[in-house]
Amino acid sequence: MHVVLIDYGAGNLPSVAKALGAAGVAVERSSDPRRAAAADALVLPGQGHFGQVMEAFRASGFEAVVREHIGADKPFLGICVGLQLLVEGSEEAPGSAGLGVLPGRVVRFPEGDVSVPHMGWNALHPYGDSPLLAGVADGAHAYFAHSYVVAFDEAATDFPAGATTTYGPTRFLSAVSRGALHATQFHPEKSQRVGLRILANFADAARTAWSARG
């Protein structure tokens, strides 16, 4: 199975690659969209300002590859801003559209009730049947570093599985799964044992999908 870690200039690539290796995932880090197009599974990391990250991603030439990969329901993992890029847009950069492969928008944590950014450990509350979160207990902690979140509508059916997290008065999507597409707002590469379990789960799900394709 060929797993590519997309290198479009995101700052957390080395730590993501190291954590994937520790979780037993043989991964190729590549800045060549042609290598990503041939991959069985893709990992899209991200950190920083939504608009700047989106601009760098589009300039890298990976957009069409990622769209085609997700459209074919091939295994995909987005991390932190790599989740936010998948939705329609963000309050952080109103003039910069997201990929729109998932519904919703990114909003800033309300000021005053909590300190922003949200930095450090917080609890995950899995729901649905996400292979990404298999064996992850309700209340298990992961590491966060962000000021913006995907708005969560309790009536939405667009995210049949994933996890929520609460920070102050805000409950937000901390992980989503839809088909072979998975993404986390937290950093699994910084989340120690829980993070390694999640990365290993992604690899297991990707192998199962790869085997099913023959």
- Active-site residues, by number, are 80, 187, 189
Pairing, β 170-178 against β 161-167: antiparallel
- Taking each helix axis from N to C end, the angle separating 13-22 and 192-212, rounded to the nearest 10 degrees, works out to 70
Omega of the bond leading into 126 within 30 degrees of 0 (cis):
no
* Cis status of the peptide bond prior to 110, with omega within 30 of 0: no
Contact 36, 65 (CB under 8 A): yes
Longest dimension (CA), the chain: 53
Q: Which amino acid is at 147?
A: S
Cα 200 to Cα 197: distance, rounded to the nearest angstrom: 5
Give, in order, the Cα–Cα distances in Å from 117 to each of 135, 165, 181, 188, 201. Answer: 29, 15, 26, 18, 28
Q: Locate 201 and state its tokens.
A: 């789960």
